Amino acid sequence: MTSAATIQKKSIRFRARSFVAFALAPEAPLGEWLRGLDRWTENSPGFFAGRPVVLDLNILKPNPREVAGLVAELAARGIRIYAIEANAIDALGPELPPLLRGAKTAIIDEAQAPSSQTAKAAAPAKLEEPPESSALIIESPIRSGQSVFHPHGDVIVLGSVGSGSEIVAGGSVHVYGTLRGRAFAGATGNGKARIFCQKNEAELLAVDGWYRTADDMEPSSRGRPIQAFLDNGVIWVAALD
């Protein structure tokens, strides 16, 4: 017989963790939006792999039966949906990702982020203090295929950035060498962020969700120092010399 004194009750520990999730907010007509998403993934293959993605349906407002088809369309493109945000839907089937309530939006897509007035109206009376910003300094070159994700500040690369690699920063991106990969500045909703590099050979430049691909850039901006910034929903790539 086991003595009661030898039995120890073990409690279950629950820990809260916070992650930055990318949000996709499809719009009508859905076919055109999906084609735009295909163009994005062609320029940034594997961008969504292994990253939490929230499907924001507050713009599209599909009925519950249409949600499954959309989730399947995204899964066919290698995009796994972790949660769904839809204020007009009360419940979804158990085969679909869970509904998410009270999320703060941070979108990387072709849609413009919500206006400041809308954000203020939806905010609670008492706001949490934002995390302290800090710059991430990388002294070595970023090799092809590598990914750097720093949501709370600038990313400063003292070397070059190889093709097929990417930098995702909540603030600005500074590359003191050649930028051959993809750079995403203001990724968590900062339209004032900028991208700087000493030699522009970038595959893609993005600020606050708006982007330019190599094919969209002026030939005069290639192979020289540039800055990329957002102005009225347009990415400008300007020479620095």
Report the predicted TM-score, pTM, of the whole model to 2 decimal places.
0.59
Do residue 112 and residue 165 come from a single domain?
A: no
Structure tokens at 212: 């330019």
pLDDT tens by residue, 49-92: 777 889 999 889 988 889 999 999 999 988 999 999 988 888 88
Do residue 109 and residue 150 come from a single domain?
A: no
> Could you say which of 100, 122, 144 is where a domain stops?
122
What is the C-alpha end-to-end distance of the chain, expressed in Å? 84
Query: Residues 82, 183, 132, 141: is their CA dihedral positive or negative?
Result: positive
**DSSP conformational letter for 188:** T
Do residue 114 and residue 155 come from a single domain?
A: no
pLDDT tens by residue, 34-46: 998 888 777 666 6
Do residue 109 and residue 152 come from a single domain?
A: no
Q: Does residue 194 surpass a pLDDT of 90?
A: yes
Describe the strand order of the beta sheet including 226-231 as a list of residue ranges: 136-138, 155-157, 173-179, 195-200, 226-231, 234-239
**141: domain CATH number?**
2.160.20.70
The single residue listed with the structure tokens 């055109």 is 32
The total domain count for the chain is: 2
